[in-house]
Structure 1
Amino acid sequence: MRLVTRAVWGARPSKYSLVYIGATSGVKIHYEGAYVPKSLAAADAHSACAGHMRDIQASHLANTAEDYSDIAYNAVVCPHGYVFEGRGLHRKTGANGNQTLNAKDYAVCAMVGSSGLVQPTDALLGGLVDAIDWLRNGGSAGPEVLGHRDGYATACPGDPLYAWVRAGAHRPDGSSPQGGTSGTASGSSIARYQVEINGLKYGYGATGSHITKVGQTLVAKGFGKHYKVGPGPEWTDADTRNYQDFQLSLGYKGTAPHQDADGVPGEVSLHQLLGSLPGKTTSSSVPPFPGRSAFVLGKSNPAVSTLDRGLVRKGYTRHNDGNGYQPGPRFTEYTRENVRDFQRATPALAGDAYGYPGPLTWRLLLS
C-alpha cells in the first residue's frame, strides 16, 4: 500500500471536530461525479494528484449547503494507485447521503468522474483494495463493500466502478480485500504489510541486503533493543519495532498499522535514517545544493528554475499569479509560499517551514 498522509498532500485543518466512529459495517465506493481530466492518469502525472486532492477538499469546505467539516471521504485513490488519507481511520464520513448511512460505512472515493476520466486504471483498482484493507485493519471496517448508490438515490460511483463492486471488488490479479491485522503473542497489533520505495520492498517478510543495512543503521543509532540475534536480510517484527522507535524519535505519531509511526518505512524517515534512498533513484541524482544565496526574494538564479521544476513535479503550485505556476529563474513570493507548503507537508521540515530552501528541503524536493 502507498499511503499519502494528510500532512504529505497538504490538507487544510478540519473546520469542525470530526466525529469518532469505532467500527462500520463496511465501505462504500464513490467517484467524483464531475469532469476529471484524462491527463491525470498519465504515467508521469502523479505529481498532480496531491493538488487534485487539495482541490477536492477545498470544494467540500466551500460547500455552504452541506457545511462539511472536512473533505467528505475517509480516503481517496488516485489513478496511479496511491491512497490519499482523507478524514482517515475511525472518523465518520460525510459522503454517504445522510447521517445513518454515514455512520454505517466508511467512504472511499476514486479519482474518476462522470466525464473525462471515467474508466478506472488497474492501479486505481488495486489502490481501492488497499484502501479497503487499510480501513479494515486500522479502522475496524466490516466485510461489506458496496457502491454509494446502494441505499441512496445517486449515480455514484458510475457504471464502470459499480460493475467492479458488483463483481467482488477484486484486484486486477483477481485477489480480494483481506481483513484483520496480524497479532503478537500479547494480543496487540503490529504492522505486517510491505511498501516499495525506489523498487525495493520494506516491511514484514521483505528480504535483501538493503534490509540488513536498515537494521545495522538502526543499531548504530541506538534503535536495536528488540533484536535478539542482530539484524539480518529478512524484515521481522523486531525490525518493525526498532524502526517504530526511530520514527517516534522523529516526532511521528500513531503506532497502529498504517499510521505514521507503525514501524514501516516511508521515504522521508528512510532518507533520514540512511542519508539516501537505495534503489533505482538515489540522492546522487540530486544536483548539489547551490547555497542559500541562490534564493533571495526578487532575485534571479538558475537554481530557482530547478527548484520550480521540483515544485511542479510534486504538485506544490497552488500559489501563482492566476495563470498557473511556471518554472523560472526568479525567486518570487509565490515560489516562497509553494516551498513553505512543501515544508509544512513534510514531517522532517515542518518545524522550520518558512519557505526558503536549505540543503534538506532541496534534497527531499528534488529526490
Structure 2
Amino acid sequence: MKLVTRAQWGAKPSKYSLAYIASTQGVKIHYEGSYVAKSLGDSGAHGSCAGHMRDIQASHLANTKEDYSDIAYNAVVCPHGFVFEGRGLHRKTGANGNQTLNVKDYAVCAMVGNSGLVQPTEAQLDGLVDAVQWLRNGGAAGNEVLGHRDGYATQCPGDPLYAWVKAGAHRPDGTGPQGGTGGEASGGTALARYQVTINGLVYGYRASGAHVTAVGKALVARGFGRHYSVGPGPEWSDADTENFSDFQVSLGYKGTAPHQDADGVPGPVSLQQLLGTLPGKPATSSVPPFPGRSAFVLGKSNPAVTVLDGGLVRRGFTKHHAGAAYTPGPLFSQNTLLNVRDFQRATPALAGDADGYPGPLTWRLLLS
C-alpha cells in the first residue's frame, strides 16, 4: 500500500474535533462528482495529486451549507494508486449523506469525476482495495463494500466505478481485499497486509522472491521464528509479518497495529538491522545539474527551459498556455512561470515560496 499521510500531502487542521468511531459495517465508495482533468491520470502527473487533495479539502472546508469539519472522506485514492489519508482511521465520515449513514460506513473517494477523467485506472482500483483493507485492518471496518448510491439518492460513484463495486470490488488481478472479520491474527489483533518497496525489492504481505526467504532465514537465525509452521519461504505470509513484528519490538519499536512502527512490515532501518545491509539497487537520480537562476529570465530563451517544460508536461502542470496546448520550448514565458508556480503550490516543500521562478529544489523535485 502506498499511503500518503495528512502531513505529507499538506492537510490543514480540522475545523472542529472529528468524531471518533470504533467500527463500521463497511466502506462506501465515492467519486468527486465534478470535472476532473484527464491529465491527472497521466503516468507522470502524480506530482499534482497532493495539490488536488488540498483543493478537495479546501472546497469542503469552504462549504458553508454542509459546514464540514474537514475533508469529508476517510481516504482518497489517486489515479496512480496512492492512498491519501483523509479523516483517517476511527473517524466518522461526513460524505455518506446523513448522520446514520456516516456512522454506518467509512467513505473512500477515487479521484475521478463525472466528466474529464471518468474511468478509474488499474492502479487506482488496486489503491481502492488497499484503502478498504487499511480501514479493515486499522479501523475495524466490516466486510461490506458498496457504492455511495447504495442507501442514498445520488449518481455517486459514477457508472464505471459503481460497475466495479457491483462486480465485487476486486483488484485488476481478480483478488479482493483481505482483512475485515477474516483478516485477524490469533488473539484478535489485525495484521498489517500491505507492501513497501526498499531499493527496488518488495516486502510485506504476498511479496515474493529470494529476498523474502532471506528475511525469514535471518529472523530464524536471530530467534524470531516462532510463528512459522513450516519454516521461511519465498512468499511473504502472515507468519513473516508476525515474526518481523517481534523483531521490531525487540529493537524498541512501539505499536503493532497496521502502519505503526512495529507492525511487522520492514522499513529501511529495521531491515538493515536484521540483515546488516540493504539488498537491491538504490534508486539513482537522473536529474541534470541545476543550470542556475540566470537561465530563467522572463521573456528570455535558454535550453534549460525546454528541459523544465518537459518536467511540467510529465507532471501535468500545463494549464496556462497560449495555443491549443502547452508546448515545450526554450522561451521562459509568462505561461511557463504560471505553470511552475502551480507546481510549487502543489508541492509542500515549495508552497511557501511559490513565485514561479525555479530554484535548485524546484528543479530537482520537478525533474526527479
Q: Same fold by TM (over 0.5)?
A: yes
- Return closer, same or farther for 1:214/1:100 CA change in 2, 3 Å cut-off: same
5+ residue gaps, structure 2, are 226-231, 298-302, 319-333, 352-358
- Return closer, same or farther for 1:51/1:327 CA change in 2, 3 Å cut-off: closer
Matched, 1:257 2:262: no
Give 1:99's aligned residue: 99
Classify the secondary structure of the residue corresponding to 1:101: helix
Give 2:125's aligned residue: 125
Give 2:192's aligned residue: 191
Aligned 1:1-367 pairs, distance under 5 A: 1-180=1-180, 187-197=188-198, 199-204=200-205, 206-208=207-209, 227-228=222-223, 236-237=240-241, 238-243=243-248, 248=253, 255-259=256-260, 262-265=263-266, 278-279=280-281, 282-283=283-284, 285=286, 341-342=348-349
5+ residue gaps, structure 1, are 329-333, 345-355
Contact 2:129 2:176 in 1 (8 A): yes
Q: How far apart are 1:274 and its partner, in Å?
A: 9.5
TM-score (norm 2): 0.69
* Distance in 1 between residues matched to 2:4 and 2:304, nearest whole Å: 28
* Distance in 2 between residues matched to 1:326 and 1:271, nearest whole Å: 43
* Distance in 1 between residues matched to 2:272 and 2:290, nearest whole Å: 16
* Distance in 1 between residues matched to 2:363 and 2:278, nearest whole Å: 13
- Return closer, same or farther for 1:167/1:327 CA change in 2, 3 Å cut-off: closer
Residues 76-105 of structure 1, C-alpha deviations (whole Å, 9 max, x = no match): 111122211111111000001111111111
Residues 281-290 or 52-61, more deviating: 281-290
* Distance in 2 between residues matched to 1:255 and 1:316, nearest whole Å: 40
* Distance in 2 between residues matched to 1:197 and 1:159, nearest whole Å: 37
Give 2:322's aligned residue: none
Classify the secondary structure of the residue corresponding to 1:107: strand
Q: Identity percentage over the alignment?
A: 67
* Distance in 2 between residues matched to 1:363 and 1:316, nearest whole Å: 16
Contact 2:39 2:316 in 1 (8 A): no
Classify the secondary structure of the residue corresponding to 2:146: strand
- Return closer, same or farther for 1:365/1:243 CA change in 2, 3 Å cut-off: farther
* Distance in 2 between residues matched to 1:18 and 1:211, nearest whole Å: 40
Classify the secondary structure of the residue corresponding to 2:349: helix
Residues 240-267 of structure 1, C-alpha deviations (whole Å, 9 max, x = no match): 444577795xxxx864213466342468
Residues 125-134 or 91-100, more deviating: 125-134
**Letter of the structure 2 residue corresponding to residue 81 of structure 1:** G
* Distance in 2 between residues matched to 1:307 and 1:246, nearest whole Å: 44
* Distance in 1 between residues matched to 2:47 and 2:269, nearest whole Å: 16
Contact 1:23 1:142 in 2 (8 A): yes
Residues 105-114 or 155-164, more deviating: 155-164
Classify the secondary structure of the residue corresponding to 2:144: strand
Give 1:347's aligned residue: none
Q: How far apart are 1:61 and its partner, in Å?
A: 1.0
- Return closer, same or farther for 1:162/1:339 CA change in 2, 3 Å cut-off: closer
- Return closer, same or farther for 1:255/1:327 CA change in 2, 3 Å cut-off: farther
Contact 2:203 2:212 in 1 (8 A): yes
Residues 117-171 of structure 1, C-alpha deviations (whole Å, 9 max, x = no match): 1112222222212211111111111122211112211111112222222222222
- Return closer, same or farther for 1:233/1:134 CA change in 2, 3 Å cut-off: same
The alignment yields a C-alpha RMSD, in angstroms, of 4.9
Classify the secondary structure of the residue corresponding to 1:47: helix
* Distance in 2 between residues matched to 1:255 and 1:190, nearest whole Å: 8
Contact 2:203 2:266 in 1 (8 A): yes
- Return closer, same or farther for 1:202/1:58 CA change in 2, 3 Å cut-off: same
* Distance in 2 between residues matched to 1:268 and 1:229, nearest whole Å: 17
Classify the secondary structure of the residue corresponding to 1:155: coil
Contact 1:194 1:201 in 2 (8 A): yes
Report how many residues are paired.
Answer: 330
**Letter of the structure 2 residue corresponding to residue 257 of structure 1:** P
Q: How far apart are 1:199 and its partner, in Å?
A: 4.3
* Distance in 2 between residues matched to 1:100 and 1:48, nearest whole Å: 34
Classify the secondary structure of the residue corresponding to 2:30: strand
**Letter of the structure 2 residue corresponding to residue 169 of structure 1:** A
Contact 1:339 1:357 in 2 (8 A): no
Q: How far apart are 1:192 and its partner, in Å?
A: 3.9
- Return closer, same or farther for 1:42/1:284 CA change in 2, 3 Å cut-off: closer
- Return closer, same or farther for 1:282/1:210 CA change in 2, 3 Å cut-off: farther
- Return closer, same or farther for 1:111/1:205 CA change in 2, 3 Å cut-off: closer
- Return closer, same or farther for 1:148/1:188 CA change in 2, 3 Å cut-off: closer
**Letter of the structure 2 residue corresponding to residue 341 of structure 1:** P
**Letter of the structure 1 residue corresponding to residue 26 of structure 2:** G
- Return closer, same or farther for 1:316/1:118 CA change in 2, 3 Å cut-off: closer
